[in-house]
Amino acid sequence: MGTVNTVLGPIPTEQLGITAVHEHINFGQNGWYLESDSWHPISGTIARAESQLADFRALGGRTYVDLTGIGNFRSVELYRVIARATGINFVACTGFWTGMGTRPFFWDKPVEYLTELFIKEITVGIDDTAAKAGVIKVGVSHRGLSDMDRKIYTAAGRAAVATGVPILTHLSTDAMTQLDILEAQGLSPDRVVIGHADAGVDVDRRRDLEVARRGAYVGIDNIGYETEKTPRVPWAQARRDRLRQLLDLLDAGFADRVAVSADADVQPLGWVSPPHSVAELLNQFVPDLRAEGIDEAIINTLLVANPARLLTMQEV
């Protein structure tokens, strides 16, 4: 029987249930706190988070994975308050949004330092808490993989091999190179989600199939960022087009190679999100799938079986 690290301790895989694998309580680019207009009372964030996660739970949701990495306002203490109030299994990450988002403090650190940092957060705890990270976050800086991105990917691949946790990425840009770097560290592609394949600026159906064939998960994880909403963010996609993108993967027989989530940010820090909640995964996306005649077994694969297989820590 496998286990998954949550902020309140490890739990058996069987308890995961319906899971959103890529979400945020609050996310701000490094430096957001230098702009006083970006500050929000923490009580408001907690109230909104508890309300949205309670909606998610009322619709059947059980597990929430926060992919806010180091330096983007990750807060284990906050996550524990929300987890206790809602009864949701809350998984936190180690790692970074992208190399571009790291502070100068990390720039001249060697791969070995970053590897040890990630391993420490997975096996001992995040910051000075005993809450162990359940996943590793990495990402591609906007114009492709930077040197810092590559260093982070190398460290993340080594830490994933050493600890058995999976890796989830920000952006599908350079997907094959991302997998090349991780595989070179000895990591199997089936331990990786290539994220935001459904970002409107980055849709590539042929790439989706290549990622799935290679054995990694295709992240259809911007669900709810729709061009129909305002303000329109660059990564929005028309609701029908995103659905079609997913249906193509299902038609090709890759239901077990898709990771779904909303990437909703309960409290954006220093940026403005359209109205969005993790609950949309269950009250909009699932009805859309049913309207297309997708059967319950496939919906269960997307929401329960795939996250369970992905998140379960591998024997090392």
Chain positions contacting Zn ion, by CB under 5 A: 67, 263
Q: Which of 154, 65, 145 is nearest to 109 (CA)?
A: 154
In the complex, residue closest to Zn ion by CB: 263
Closer to Zn ion at the Cβ: 67 or 236? 67
Q: How far is the CB of 192 from Zn ion (least distance, A)?
A: 16
Residue 15 CB coordination number (10 Å): 13
Torsion of the alpha carbons at 313, 3, 72 and 186, rounded to the nearest 10 = 0
Q: How far is the CB of 296 from Zn ion (least distance, A)?
A: 28
Q: How far is the CB of 112 from Zn ion (least distance, A)?
A: 27
Q: What share of the chain is helix, strand, coil (3-state, %, to 5)?
A: 45, 15, 35
Q: Distance between CA 130 and CA 150 in Å, rounded?
A: 29
Q: Which of 217, 201, 225, 229 is nearest to 166 (CA)?
A: 217
Q: Which residues contact 108 (CB under 8 A, 6 or more apart)?
A: none
- Considering Cα of 260, then 266, then 269, then 273, what sign does the dihedral take? positive
Closer to Zn ion at the Cβ: 149 or 263? 263
Closer to Zn ion at the Cβ: 109 or 229? 229
Q: How far is the CB of 290 from Zn ion (least distance, A)?
A: 26
Q: Which of 222, 201, 189, 209 is nearest to 249 (CA)?
A: 209
Q: How far is the CB of 67 from Zn ion (least distance, A)?
A: 5
Closer to Zn ion at the Cβ: 67 or 156? 67
Q: How far is the CB of 253 from Zn ion (least distance, A)?
A: 28
Closer to Zn ion at the Cβ: 24 or 161? 24
Closer to Zn ion at the Cβ: 173 or 294? 173
